[in-house]
Amino acid sequence: MIDYLATFIVFFAVIDPVGTVPVFIAVTSQFDNPSKRRIALIASLASAGILLFFVMAGELILTAMSIPLSAFQIAGGIVLFLFALSMIFGESKPDEELRLAEDHHETAIFPLAVPSIAGPGAMLAAVLMTENARFNFWQQVQTAAVMLSVLVVVYILMLGAGFINKLIGNSGASVVSRIMGLILASVAATNTLAGLKIYFNL
């Protein structure tokens, strides 16, 4: 048996359902409500598929490619940092990225599913929390179930994002998005530094 509460807290922290709300509001502002609901569903399902893939095969792939978990953490931190910059300086996004955002399927995958929901931290947690040397098959199934329950919370909060948007407005969403970008940049820097410390045995 795993510690359900502790596992839930870990995945809630790395997936950050609350932090996904301003991102969802920011990237779906030009869509109507039915499209927003489709985006929320597609993003949630895609995130579930991605994280389940890392639960089942993440450690095997990293081991087969001789990639240490610390290197994965460093790369994940860099990707998260780049996404944080795009949240802070939204007006400077490349034209191609803005064009992709016009399609609700593309928006659901990037930037919502990856890297907002199934981000580097969540992928890393999925690998570490189901490490074959520490957890048996049943414990890994339980961990995956807890992880999916957090994604259900993400989906529910995205469905309620419209109400939040009415409260804070587009300008408020823009401010929140940039604040979240700063927070994400800090988290990304922390992940990268932690990975570097482990990799170089500092």
In the chain, how long is the greatest CA-to-CA distance? 51
Can you give the pLDDT at residue 153? Answer: 94
Count how many domains the chain has: 1
Per-residue pLDDT of the chain (202 residues; tens, 9 = 90+): 889 998 998 888 788 887 788 778 878 878 888 999 999 999 999 999 999 999 999 888 888 888 887 787 788 778 778 877 877 886 533 343 344 445 556 788 888 898 789 987 788 789 888 888 788 999 999 999 999 999 999 999 999 987 876 777 667 766 766 776 787 787 778 778 888 888 888 6
- Are 154 and 20 in contact, with CB atoms under 8 Å apart? yes
Where in the sequence is the domain holding 123, given as residue range(s)?
4-199
Can you give the pLDDT at residue 173? Answer: 64
Helix (H) or strand (E) holding 170: helix 161-199
Can you give the pLDDT at residue 94? Answer: 35
What predicted TM-score, i.e. pTM, was given to this entire model? 0.70
- Cβ-Cβ contacts under 8 Å for 61 (sequence gap 6 or more): 67
d(CA 51, CA 38): 20
Can you give the pLDDT at residue 154? Answer: 94
Backbone conformation region of residue 119, classed left if phi is above 0, alpha if psi is from -120 to 50, else beta: beta
- Cβ-Cβ contacts under 8 Å for 104 (sequence gap 6 or more): 28, 31, 35, 38, 39, 42
111-121 residues labelled b (16+ CB within 10 A) or e (exposed)? bbbbbbbbbbb
Rg of the chain, C-alpha, whole Å: 17
Tell the burial category of 157 from Cβ atoms under 10 Å away from its Cβ (0-12, 13-18, 19+): middle
CA nearest 124: which of 195, 196, 185?
195
Helix then strand then coil, % of the chain, to nearest 5: 85, 0, 15
